[in-house]
Amino acid sequence: MRSGNEPDSPAQPDITSLIPLVRRVVGARVHEATVAEDLVQETLTRVLATAPRVEPGLLESYAIVTARNVVSSLWREQDRHRRNQHRVVDLRPPDPPDTDLLASEEQGAVTRALAQLSERERHLLLAHEVNGRDTRSLAGEQGSTAGAVAAQLNRIRARLRVEYLLALDNAEPPTDRCRPVLLALSGGDRRRQREVDAGRHLLECELCARLSSPLLERGRQGRDDEVCIPIHSDGDIVAARQAARELAARLGFSRTDLTLIATAVSEVARNIVRFAEAGEVVVELLERPRPGVRVVARDTGPGIADVEQAMRDGYSTYHGLGLGLPGARRLMDEFAVASELGRGTTVTMTKWRRR
């Protein structure tokens, strides 16, 4: 996008320089070489996947705590395995399945997390997520723009994720720096991460180190109704389009609608490659208020100076094929752009399945 500002240069993170560090952290805990190498690769994969949401100065710290998390989840896994083996040998009746308990714990955590939001935040979130009010009509009510409402919703969701994980963990943050750090991670706000010195805090605070992975690796937590595709190159545009199409197909969208969704995803992903160099596309299936697919395309590029102008038909920021943002808007049911100069752009768009 056009901008008078210097781009924030979201360069590709130099993952190779992290390898010796990650090897050291893993090697100190795991001695079997092949297992250690697997864990090193798993760590690098995770760090790479979150790179668009992490400010470059934070990468080392994040790699260290991720390596620790990866190792301890291996230990937990082995523990469970041992206990289960024991149980088989014991011939005791197995414990009742704890899935109900798990579900009610999660439900309780959601309730407690919602209670942490302000009345206004809760109202906005529920109006959108539960009652299906679109960003445009909510903007009318607030006297603001759809883009501003979408940005607000993203901030509220980022907060809700933090409060949810804290509630699930039954943890009260040990320092007053914890919440600001967790919020900066959850929102993928690289400038805020720098301001609150998230890198140092992660190394000092066990709780935040533990929660950093689920906050940053959204879409990698075994959720099969959400994918997150880092966008750096043209190849990633194709990957984003295919992922969106495959995910949406599961909801029974018509072939025509699948093509429209995939095309809109291509356009927003292409925008990232052309103007911001790096970012991500998150595709998420929605159940309520009716089946749909939400796409959030986020970058840390230079931002758009004049969103209204950029959304006008015929306004083209580059020559060649492509529908641009106005085209993507026509293909989807809901569409909102939030952009800040020097900080980046977030496009949020939704398509509902027709009856």
Residues that bind Zn ion (CB under 5 A): 178, 205, 208
Q: How far is the CB of 109 from Zn ion (least distance, A)?
A: 18
Instruction: Please say which residue, 164 or 275, places its beta carbon nearer to Zn ion.
Output: 164
Q: How far is the CB of 204 from Zn ion (least distance, A)?
A: 8
Q: How far is the CB of 184 from Zn ion (least distance, A)?
A: 12
Instruction: Please say which residue, 23 or 179, places its beta carbon nearer to Zn ion.
Output: 179
Spatial distance between the Cα atoms of 220 and 228, rounded to a whole number of angstroms: 8
Residues 128-131: contacts with CB under 8 Å, at least 24 apart: 128/153, 129/288, 130/288, 130/289, 131/289
289 prior amide bond cis, ω within 30? yes
Q: How far is the CB of 221 from Zn ion (least distance, A)?
A: 20
Spatial distance between the Cα atoms of 18 and 160, rounded to a whole number of angstroms: 31
Distances (CA, A) of 176 to 95, 109, 196: 40, 21, 11
Q: How far is the CB of 55 from Zn ion (least distance, A)?
A: 17
Q: How far is the CB of 172 from Zn ion (least distance, A)?
A: 11
Spatial distance between the Cα atoms of 153 and 161, rounded to a whole number of angstroms: 12
Spatial distance between the Cα atoms of 85 and 214, rounded to a whole number of angstroms: 29
Angle between helix axes 146-169 and 99-115 (nearest 10 degrees) is 130
Instruction: Please say which residue, 98 or 172, places its beta carbon nearer to Zn ion.
Output: 172
Q: How far is the CB of 206 from Zn ion (least distance, A)?
A: 8
Spatial distance between the Cα atoms of 182 and 355, rounded to a whole number of angstroms: 40
Q: How far is the CB of 280 from Zn ion (least distance, A)?
A: 25
Instruction: Please say which residue, 185 or 307, places its beta carbon nearer to Zn ion.
Output: 185
Instruction: Please say which residue, 196 or 258, places its beta carbon nearer to Zn ion.
Output: 196
Spatial distance between the Cα atoms of 250 and 327, rounded to a whole number of angstroms: 25
Structure tokens, 319: 């020559």
Distances (CA, A) of 97 to 93, 101, 102, 164, 344: 11, 8, 10, 23, 46
Q: How far is the CB of 205 from Zn ion (least distance, A)?
A: 3
Spatial distance between the Cα atoms of 352 and 251, rounded to a whole number of angstroms: 10
Instruction: Please say which residue, 205 or 248, places its beta carbon nearer to Zn ion.
Output: 205
DSSP state of 354: P
Instruction: Please say which residue, 158 or 272, places its beta carbon nearer to Zn ion.
Output: 158
Instruction: Please say which residue, 63 or 65, places its beta carbon nearer to Zn ion.
Output: 65
Instruction: Please say which residue, 208 or 276, places its beta carbon nearer to Zn ion.
Output: 208
205 sits in which H/E element: none
> Hey, what amino acid is at 130?
V
